[in-house]
Structure 1
Amino acid sequence: MKTVVLATSNKGKIAEFNELLKDLGLEVKGLDQFPEIGEIPEPGETFLENAIIKAQTVANLTGLVAVADDSGLEVDALGGRPGVYSARYSGEDATPEKNNAKLLEELDGVAEEERTARFVCVMVAATPDNIRIQSRGEWEGRIAFELTGKQGFGYDPLFFDPELGCVAAEMTRETKNARSHRGKALRALMEQWADFQERISR
């Protein structure tokens, strides 16, 4: 199991995963290297459902171990939205810029102490034989009043980490990986990796 397919074409995610997985000697490939797979529907109503769908679909189509995550932003003042719809929050033609603009608009007039939010990531590794492991990571913060920083992607320019006193888009990749929901979920997944390998080889 030297090659793992990451069930995403998002260059930001692929870069983050490569950084996080390099110490395991795993070769990480993104879906951009498997164009025949195309877009994978995400009809699930939870992060876990979508992660399982993506990981199992890619594992079945490639014959390789696949890792998928479904992640998003939960804003308390919005009842947990955008949640599983984070990537398409502003509609079918959503872009990060449009999503951030909509978020700021919906939180207009909401006081700082009520802008609490968290990034959530659920991660699943799957084999073509339906052997799976899963993990979850959360990153608590709040939504800033304006866009700041040029690092990261998605909602990073608005996600403020009170402990560090800056938004995610101002952090180095190393700092973000140490704090982020995705980093936490991946580390939790890696804690299960040796057992996962053993189950695969039986």
Structure 2
Amino acid sequence: MQKLIFATNNTHKAEEIRSVLEGRFTITTLKEAGIDMDIPEPFDTLEENARKKAATVYHLTGISCFGEDTGLETNTLNGEPGVKSARYAGEERDFAANIEKLLDQLKGKTDRTARFRTVISLILNGAEHQFEGICEGSITVQPRGEKGFGYDPVFIPHNASRTFAEMSLPEKNQYSHRKKAMEQLIQFLITQ
């Protein structure tokens, strides 16, 4: 089974990715690979941040790997929080504060449409390949649900009536932006 290092310390993201891969690949997180660091996300695009994460891990290990960056983009707020989603309310990555800020920014707005967008940068045998997954939806007026992480309590995907935080992981994967990007990654890897 092919081993890939996932350039993250986010256990929720690793769990989502592993649920999609269904044993086809062995996924190792940074911590599991013995890499004790948080890779900075200094860029203005998801693509550049994903590339930076993968390149850092590949430089350190020489092992095929992938990095991912995800943003929640709202139409009314010109794409905010976007690439700054994890740090929307400050550098401490407090998602309760991020959600509170987002809902405050959307107060009184009638257009609550949004989308989650994930970009994965794979480095396989030294060559980079990028994949994108998008989930269209809308933002609720208040948080709902206890599952998931990040903005899941306020995001309802199109053609659903519940937030990501009200869904089980298999249910979320029916809509998930991360799953869509991972499926492209898997199809690419299968053909290699």
TM tier relative to shorter chain? over 0.9
Alignment of 1:128-139 (within 5 A): 129-139=125-135
- The separation in 1 between residues aligned to 2:72 and 2:56, in whole angstroms, is 24
How far residue 67 of structure 1 moved from its aligned partner, in angstroms, is: 1.3
1:133-157 deviation digits (Å, cap 9, x = unpaired): 2110100001000000111100000
1:84-135 deviation digits (Å, cap 9, x = unpaired): 0000000112311110011111111112xx00000000111114x5312211
- Gaps of at least 5 residues in structure 1 are 198-202
Q: How many residue pairs end up in the alignment?
A: 192
Partner residue in 2 for 1:166: 162
Larger fraction in helix: 1
How far residue 178 of structure 1 moved from its aligned partner, in angstroms, is: 2.0
TM-score between both structures, scaled by the size of structure 2:
0.94
Partner residue in 1 for 2:121: 124
Partner residue in 2 for 1:106: 105
- The separation in 2 between residues aligned to 1:124 and 1:93, in whole angstroms, is 25
How far residue 37 of structure 1 moved from its aligned partner, in angstroms, is: 4.2
Partner residue in 1 for 2:4: 4
- The separation in 2 between residues aligned to 1:190 and 1:183, in whole angstroms, is 10
The percentage of aligned residue pairs carrying the same residue is: 39
- The separation in 2 between residues aligned to 1:86 and 1:80, in whole angstroms, is 10
> Is 170-179 or 73-82 further displaced after alignment?
170-179
Partner residue in 1 for 2:17: 17
Are the structure 2 counterparts of residues 35 and 106 from structure 1 closer, same or farther at C-alpha, using a change threshold of 3 Å?
farther
Secondary structure (helix, strand or coil) at the match of 1:5 reads strand
Contact 1:178/1:184 (<8 A) preserved: no
Contact 1:56/1:130 (<8 A) preserved: no
How far residue 70 of structure 1 moved from its aligned partner, in angstroms, is: 0.7
Secondary structure (helix, strand or coil) at the match of 1:145 reads coil
Alignment of 1:1-150 (within 5 A): 2-24=2-24, 26-111=25-110, 114-127=111-124, 129-150=125-146
1:35-92 deviation digits (Å, cap 9, x = unpaired): 5441212222111111111011112212211111111100111000110000000011
TM-score between both structures, scaled by the size of structure 1:
0.90
